[in-house]
Amino acid sequence: MKPAIVEAELDIDRSAEDVFDYCSDHSHEPEWNPKMKRIEKVTDGPLGVGTRYTTEFVSGRSMVLECVKFEPPSTWSLVGSSPVMNAVGEGKVVPTAKGAHLMMRMEIEPRGALKLALPLVRHRLCSDFAHDVQNIKTILEQEGPSEGAGIREARGSRRPTR
């Protein structure tokens, strides 16, 4: 069975570097993805290939993610696995005259009984993913200019919702 593939893209009125720094640091994901309950970086050192995270979703499912591609300030990719699915997430940022163009792609391959629900999973993922990318745009554009890591501190605990 083919995996569910969802893609979303939009323009953001922030520098490509700001967009890349925010999106490729997956510790920010609970800020823009309401289905992400928590995420923890479990490797030492700076972000890059080999960085690993443990996650927990509001559904209670956990997943281990690992960065397999990290090319600042333009692309990153993660792979993940859990008892119910395998996942690949990719992002690309391209500078534009007004800021940046963000393209994100997710590929989900359900396991077990979840495979039977793939058409429903695909439909739900498309809607959720579009909202997630819009949340990123809203967060980054509402913050104004920042200095890299300052993006997160300035935002506090605000979480967009669906």
Distance of CA 32 to the CA centre of its chain: 8
Q: Which CATH architecture has domain 4-155?
A: 2-Layer Sandwich (3.30)
pLDDT range class, residue 150, cuts 50, 70, 90: very low
Burial class (CB in 10 A: 0-12, 13-18, 19+), 19: buried
Q: Residue 127: its pLDDT value, please? A: 80
Q: Residue 100: its pLDDT value, please? A: 98
Tokens for 3? 């995996």
For the chain, the domains span 4-155
**Angle at which helices 118-143 and 16-24 cross, to 10°:** 130
User: Is there a contact between 132 and 33 (Cβ–Cβ < 8 Å)?
Assistant: yes
Say whether 59 sits in a helix, a strand or coil.
coil
pLDDT, one tens digit per residue, over 67-117 is 999 999 999 999 999 888 889 999 999 999 999 999 999 998 887 776 676
Instruction: Report the distance separating Cα 56 and Cα 128, nearest Å.
Output: 17
The amino acid that residue 27 corresponds to is S
Q: Residue 129: its pLDDT value, please? A: 87
Instruction: Report the distance separating Cα 54 and Cα 38, nearest Å.
Output: 8
Q: Cβ–Cβ contacts within 10 Å for residue 18, how many?
A: 22
pLDDT, one tens digit per residue, over 132-143 is 999 999 999 997
State the sign of the Cα–Cα–Cα–Cα dihedral 132, 127, 99, 90.
positive
Instruction: Report the distance separating Cα 78 and Cα 46, nearest Å.
Output: 15
